[in-house]
Amino acid sequence: MRSRALALLFLASLGGRAAAQVEGLDYVKKETREETRKTTLARYVPEMDWGDWYIIGPFPNPGRAGLGLVYPPELEIDLAKSYPVRNGRTVSWKKAAGGNWERIDFKQFGNPALHDEGVAYLYREVSTPVAEKLTCEMGSDDGLKFWLNGNLLVDADVYRGLSVEDHQVDLLLFRGKNRILVKVSQGIGEWEFQMRPVLDSRILALLEYQLDVDFPDSPEAKHYRMLTLLEPEGVVLEVGGLDVDPAGRPTVATRRGEIWVVDDAYDENPTASRWTLFASGLHEPLGARWRDGALWVVQRPELTRLVDEDGDGRADLFETASDRWGISGNYHEFAFGPKFDGKGRFWVTLNLGFCGGLGKSVVPWRGWAVLIDPQDGALRPICGGLRSPNGLGANADGEMFYTDNQGDWVGTNKLSHLVPGDWHGHPSGKQWYERAGFPVPSGEDDFKPPAVWFPYGRMGQSASDIALDDTAGKFGPFAGQLFVGDQTMASVMRVFLERVGGEYQGACFPFRSGFDCGVNRLVFGPDGSLFVGMTDRGWGSVGGRRWGLQRLVYTGDVPFEVLSMRATPDGFELRFTHPVDRAAAGNPASYKMASFRYNRWETYGSPEVDRKQHRIAAARVSEDGLSVRLVVEGLRPFHVHELRFPGVRDAAGGPLLHAEAYYTLNRVPE
């Protein structure tokens, strides 16, 4: 099937409502959302037809020198041909899975043994009625060669992760048919390629905003709308920190060291906001919080206090509040925070350095959560075993939690309670326990299991910030619960926590997807809307933009969701936001449950292992129809219990907005 370049399927959907078309967009409304997008973008991009991607491989990559070896696709393009390789294998062209402008995963050759140490090719054709120049950006994991009509335009023999902006190339297209050939080498790990046209991101944001006004197409958008706040042209708004000041204005810290304050942030028009530069020159701030008339920012080497002393809207005082943690210069020694717990204490989490793909703590207190005294800068180490603790936040009890990212010793993303002396599982940083005055962890018995595991791929891929819904219902029915961002999948998840046997555990649920970019920071505004700060640099994400700021607004239409999921001695108690259809919800066949766990090992991430199906023996509906008690056979401590709801309906016959939940059952209640 051929597709138009103008379809631009890599764009994320935004929510929103407006009374009239936004200014600054040459917008042409058609019968459908897709036709409107195509017609409007035709005003900005040359018209051309793109064929499907085809793939062939893998060819050998001896000594990782395969990118420089010439294989048959470089000598001829014949999609009907097959070619012998080694060990009696032959390779042939086939239509690639995925593609257009999305990432293409080369791991589609069937046998997983073929997905390491190889070379593969992609091919597609593009036709244009007249000669055109189209600027595209592209990237690969790992090395890349890119030819247009036999001319080599990119030659990058490097082993790296995918970043689509690595190369920007002007494609000088002839009238008629043009041929694109791509070659990507592979070591181990991910094996991907992506290219896409370079368009003005402001035009894309305006277009998606107007499309959602005219063609709302997301079931989630009926309940929670996305509104975009467009940053000034030329500003690289890679959000590392986010808060609202005492006047309710969003304050954005960027990874490039700037602080911006946003006025008119609650207007629905994406062009209405006004931006003022508050500070610059900081060292990759990955957190920001207002307190006592000052903005407190964590840079890589320190906690800094910023004050506007003369009232002109710019910070005049940059004061080191604490620099008591170490920094070796390793590229991955991020520092996150500050966040405040229920006692008002300053928390900071410190990323490990990465060496050879493994986390290393070569200076104090890398891989730890610490408390900082803002008066004298004293650092109090709390607990170690952290790997990449990008998220930090307090729950409704005022207790502090953090999120960690899948990797070595972290089977999948997780949410964990921070308690003095605990060990969260990564062995780097153990050497600081004695200095901290805690017993040194001695083995797996000392591992602190998380309150919530986020199943990889289904509940994000890179957990980020934590926000407590303290809006007293302004954000919907989930007051007191936590919301957790995901940087890779550009989404927000929801978490319900309870205490069993004195320890926290609970369930995670999908909540809202389709943000412009990777969700890195979250903060509630005084009106109860959720500001979402985004970035994808270095870490990669889905979505049509590289960075940005959006606002998630509750429409007042309560979604049919699982409000809470509590463990019981013989199963789980579910509470819903709508009364259920009693016959459907009372039928055990309306539910499916399985359990699994993750390996604790040095390998990057873990598959779901020890998977087991559970029989639902009974489903008992409460008198008010808002609760269901499930009796489940064979509950397993320290396993994730996955619950699906294929047959559950509300009293009006509607299905759940999100018919899945994942409860981390560390302890079965007595």
Q: Confidence band (pLDDT; 50, 70, 90) for 156?
A: very high
User: pLDDT, tens digit, for every residue of 459-477?
Assistant: 999 999 999 999 999 999 9
pLDDT at 149: 98
Share of the chain above pLDDT 70, in %: 96
Q: Which of 176-190, 284-298, 536-550 has the lowest mean pLDDT?
A: 536-550
Report the mean per-residue pLDDT for the chain. 93
Domain ranges of the chain: 49-197, 227-470, 562-665
Is the CATH number of domain 562-665 2.60.40.1220?
Answer: yes
Q: Is the confidence at residue 554, as pLDDT, over 90?
A: yes
Q: Is pLDDT of 18 > 70?
A: no
Place 2 in a pLDDT band, splitting at 50, 70 and 90. Answer: very low
CB neighbour list of residue 195: distance below 8 Å, 6 or more residues apart:
101, 136, 137, 138, 164, 182
For residue 292, is pLDDT > 60? yes
Q: Does residue 7 surpass a pLDDT of 80? A: no
pLDDT of residue 21: 58
pLDDT of residue 157: 96
**Interacting residues of 92 by C-beta distance below 8 A, sequence separation 6+:** 56, 81, 82, 83
pLDDT at residue 436 in the model: 98
pTM: 0.79
* DSSP annotation of 447: B
The pLDDT value recorded for residue 10 is 31
Percent above pLDDT 90 for the chain:
82
Q: Which tokens belong to 575?
A: 């509470």
Name the maximum alpha-carbon separation found in the chain: 77
Judge whether residue 206 has pLDDT over 90: no
Confidence at 22, pLDDT banded by 50, 70, 90: low
Structure tokens at 341: 């717990």
Q: Is 227-470 in the same CATH topology as 49-197?
A: no
DSSP string, 274-316: EEEEEE---S----EEEETTEEEEE-SS-EEEEE-SSSSSS--
- Give pLDDT tens digits for 84-114: 998 889 999 999 987 777 889 999 998 888 9
| Beta-carbon contacts of residue 583 (< 8 Å; ≥ 6 apart) | none
pLDDT digits (tens, 9 = 90+) for 337-378: 999 999 999 999 999 999 877 899 999 999 999 999 999 999
Within 492-615, residue ranges assigned H as helices are 582-585
pLDDT at residue number 3: 36
- 482-493 mean pLDDT: 97
Tell me if 283 sits within 8 A of 258, measured CB to CB.
Answer: no
258-259-264 Cα angle (round to 5): 130
Q: Which residues of 188-221 are buried (b: 16+ CB within 10 A; e: fewer)?
A: eebbbbbbbbebebbbbbbbbbbbbbebbebebb
Question: What torsion do the CA atoms of 349, 540, 517, 96 make, to the nearest 10 degrees?
Answer: -150
pLDDT at residue 16 above 70?
Answer: no
Distance CA 6, CA 185 (A): 29
The length of the chain is: 670
Q: Enter the tokens of residue 650.
A: 């509300």
The class (CATH top level) of 49-197 is mainly beta
pLDDT at 434 over 50: yes
Contact 631, 616 (CB under 8 A): yes
Q: Residue 494 corresponds to which tokens in the numbers above?
A: 């929801």
Residue type, 641: H
CATH number of the domain at 227-470, please?
Answer: 2.120.10.30
Place 216 in a pLDDT band, splitting at 50, 70 and 90: confident
Residue pLDDT, tens place only, 380-397: 999 999 999 999 999 999
- Interval 408-432: pLDDT, tens: 999 999 999 999 999 999 999 999 9
What distance in Å separates the CA atoms of residue 569 and residue 637, rounded to the nearest whole number?
11
- Quick one: pLDDT band at residue 452, thresholds 50, 70, 90? very high
Give the residue among 226, 224, 290 at the shortest CA–CA distance from 252. 290
- Reference 547, options 226, 196, 240; nearest CA is 240
Q: Which residue has the tokens 């017609």?
A: 39
Query: What's the pLDDT tens digit per position in 29-70?
Result: 999 988 888 788 778 777 788 999 999 999 999 999 999 999
Q: pLDDT at residue 12 above 70?
A: no
